[in-house]
Structure 1
Amino acid sequence: MASTEPPRREADVRQLLESARHPVALPVPRYVPTQVIFGRGAAHALDTVIRHRLGAHGFHRPMVLTGREADTKPWLAEVVAACRRLGTAVVVENPRANPTPQSMQHALDIARRHRADGVVAIGGGSVLDTGKAVALLAAGERSVAEALGQATGPAAARPGGPRGTGLVAVPTTAGSGAEVTRTATVWDEREQRKRALDHEALFPDLAIVDPLLTMSTPDRVWRSCGLDALAQAVESSWAVAADAESLRFSVPAVRLAAEGLEAVLADPGDEAARTALSCASVFAGLAIAGTRTTVPHAVSYPMTLRYGIPHGHACALTLGAVLRFNAAVTVQDCRDPRGPQHMTSVLRSVCRRLGARDPAGAHQRLDALLGRLGLPTLRGLDHIDVRAIADDVVTYHRFDNNPRHMSRGQLAALLHAESTH
């Protein structure tokens, strides 16, 4: 499998998409230790790729974690069969979307009973996050709840110690980027909080990204997942922690995600369109692994927990409005030490890749995209109590990761304007 160089120009991205007709090894930034194999058909020789890439660290007793609705995934039996060729495998269906401490613990208990020496997680973000938590904890005795800690505040738990169980991530949706990040999202329904395990040992050893696996994704899922990739790409571009390396992944991902969503909408069976959207997802994931996300993601958490709005759709609800808010940055409220001129330059790049001339046009473009995807904007969700949402949002760290300082009052005003105008 040929290796590629990190993209420096739009032409580099086009060349990468051309080469992804067959599996290739993707470049990754210095802060991501995961090996990434990307391209059409990459998952169909899963056992061969794992043995080749992990060598002596390959698996003999893998736990294979899959998503639900197996009958809608014609490729699943072949991929699971490849995992069984690694050794004595136990196949587990992920208990639920938006994993809780309890659902993760269910999978962890099975892995321990099987004495799994590796986890192969095949599915969307919920499956990958569950697999990451299982791999982190399987070799020890701590429960998921203990790893998260007893505190219910916004801080993510940081369990110590190296991971003793191998981990391979095989995403089947284009959006979460979980295959290349160091976090695993946990939804605490009792406390109505989005929480996370956050540790360097949560980076998978290997990510195998096959765009063909996304072909069977239901419409409601790929649309929301694609919006998540778009939000990650945009937010990681303007995040305070963004640097020259992360921007080489985030900025191209903006165009890839926006154009990929339009292309898949026009022809869901177009393999090139699916490849572009999958590439956007990986690039955005590689970017947020170093930068994290910002206000739109913080807003999405209570939207999903309280109102059941799918995560990517929830992120997109305020993406355009926050872009416009950030474009009005001043020296007084700029959090980025590089100053407002840096932010303005980044936002120009983002707007250009969204096909817009300015932030107002980008806002309109993003709202129009929601409409074409058949999803409502915040104005169409009149059952949401935006004042209560604002109180919750400001408690998340992602809220403070925004490059322009935003007060609780400014957030409430933004949410009110988006829900009424």
Structure 2
Amino acid sequence: MSPEKPSFDTLCAHAGTSRNAPAIDNLPFVPPVVQSTIFQLGDSAQAEAIFSGTLPGYTYSRFGNPTVDTLAATLARLEGGAGACITASGNAAVLCAVTIALAGRSGPLVTHQDIYGGSFELLRILHEVHHVPVEWVDARDEAAWIAAVGRAGAVLLETPSNPLLRLIDVAATAAAAQPVCAPVIVDNTVATPFNQRPLALGADWVVHSTTKYLNGHSDMIGGALIGREPLSDLARRIHKNLGGTVNAFDAWLVLRGLRTFALRMAAHNRNGAAVAAWLAGHPAVTRVHYAGLPAHPQHDLARRQMQHGGALLSFELAGGEVAARRFVDRLHLIVHAVSLGGLESLVTRPAMSSHRGMSPTDRARAGVSDALIRLSVGVEAEADLLADLDQALAGL
């Protein structure tokens, strides 16, 4: 790969750095944290030029910040997009993307029943409080999904879904949305741009919880939305005025994490595939949800639109909820905690954590049972992970 068009791994290793700046500028290679709320505006004429946009500059960190802008440019490049907004959480990114996508649209926001619990709750609030039309579809029925997309005002999908790791065909969705000009938003948090590139498949927007794999260190909360086209003035105004902008230090933490992102994802992917295969062969396990397994019902789709199955999986035990509780309580190395995408392996039961805000009926409709166990596979030694799983499953 030429220096003018570096590989993905190289882009990550140099994420946010000043490697392309002229040497005469003598800039620090690692970007500084611009931890300032305010910026000097100069005289009245210069201030007017900055506020009007005729002169590049910053006025107030909620409206723009050099560290945050560096992260935005970096993520846009990694996802193959033309612009990005950085937010204070993944949910804030979804809210911003949905608001932008529905601007001037009259059709419903089409999404699927098993979307991440936090997104489900957000959309329910928008529907119940602000009367935003939302249509929840069982995306396993491909004909029903494509038909709903064909009458949508905008589409929000997560693939693979969290925690059931179900897939939705991004290219087919984008093709169905095109005749009605419905923007397609893909939550790429679970797959990451290392394993999946939704914009290249026809999506209009990608959203992330940067808290997860992009940061990778379980020490900040943030989100991002990346557009296939350059950001419009309306998109920038919506992002600014919804108020969910991130602070400079958290943006810097994501930039730091991105420099090891490719290395971490290679280890996550390797461990994820190994753990999924091991669990699939264990007599106490009745089902493993992981698109990288050949037995997964959507494995062919996974091979078409993903580079790897990733490191998030879920599974069910023959002993049901009682066995699931005992399994979680017997783990020694794997941490019982929410979230995903950190260096450490984490386990949780979604029904009591990420999807707790859903009613039992909605959870059942989404396929999230009380016995479902979600495992975010970290970068520990494979042998250590398998040994912990083996002792926790013994006798269940």
Structure with the bigger RCO (C-alpha within 8 Å, sep 6+) is 2
TM-score, normalization by structure 2: 0.31
TM-score, normalization by structure 1: 0.30
Q: Which has the higher helix share?
A: 1
